Amino acid sequence: MKKSYFLKHSIVNAIIGSLSVFLLACGSSSGDTSSTSASSTVTQDTDTTVTTPISTDTGTSSSNSTDAILCDYHYNEFNSSESVSTSSNADWACTGTQRTLVANGIPDHMVGTFPNQNNPNEITEQSVSIAYTLTPAHTVTATTLGGPQGATGYVLNGVKIDANTAGSCDDSGNSCSLVGNTGSWHIEALGQTSFNFGTDQNNAHVQPNGAYHYHGMPEGFIALRGGSETTMTLIGWAADGFPIYARYGYTDANDSSSSLKTLQGSYELITNISSTRPSVDTYPLGTFAEDWVYVAGSGDLDECNGREGVTPEFPNGIYHYYATDSYPYFQRCVKGAL
């Protein structure tokens, strides 16, 4: 039986003064105008972001083999969602030293309505062909990915993970664009109500080239995988070759007999607000990526939303990532050698 999903609508802030704000849907410097946001002129994003390494440290701390784990994951079924109406296919294989994926980027679960008022792009087939190492090496270097630097990983259904956006505002907050990263303050897709990116119930939307992609928890896919609070659910592979799990992990990272809990990212909202930041009265904290700071130990995970520990597929332990309900939702960086 197929589950029904309902499109979540972001609450858009009231228009400030007489300034109108226009959002063009995700991914292009051109497109249909739609939606409004407080006191800014806005165009829509390409889901790209400023990409600089979080850390410049080097060195390898451990290596692992993921060979024989989900090496024969194949899917090819028709998706009857009104906004899809075509087949989803994804073929993973392990050959030699690499895990490969050939897919068409079409989701295998129900999706929201695309185009929509805030995202005028149609879902179309993509040509996905990637190869990740079967022997990922956990390093102390955190490398930011996303946008032009490439996806931080792929969900098993062949849909990419790209959590950042290209949206930004200038210091005044009166000039915001969802393309180009021209401003100093980078807009988040999730967890804020000032801008509507047209995301659906899977925390995903569509780029101008038709690429459906995830900014956060892929709820529809997790449901298809039987994800629940009683099991850890492997949902994909990161660009460095390490596995990605959804939401739940062991209370004791190194003890598979410990209970499962909802894992939290280790980011907190800033307490010292820059004098150059757009007004928090217009754009509450959490609107911009710069509003968040990594605080080691404040949550369960590191700066890339990962940790070392045991999993059902890796009982001897492995470094692995999580999609979380808290910021950063999906990893923005990887801690393995590339």
Residues 93-151: pLDDT tens digits? 999 999 999 999 999 999 999 999 999 999 999 999 999 999 999 999 999 999 889 99
Residues 6 or more apart whose Cβ sits within 8 Å of residue 149: 51
Spatial distance between the Cα atoms of 63 and 3, rounded to a whole number of angstroms: 40
Q: 115 vs 37, which has greater pLDDT? A: 115
Structure tokens at 277: 């930041």
Segment 285-332, tens digit of pLDDT = 999 999 999 999 999 999 999 999 999 999 999 999 999 999 999 999
Contact 334, 239 (CB under 8 A): yes
Structure tokens at 29: 């410097």
Residue whose structure tokens are 């990409």: 51
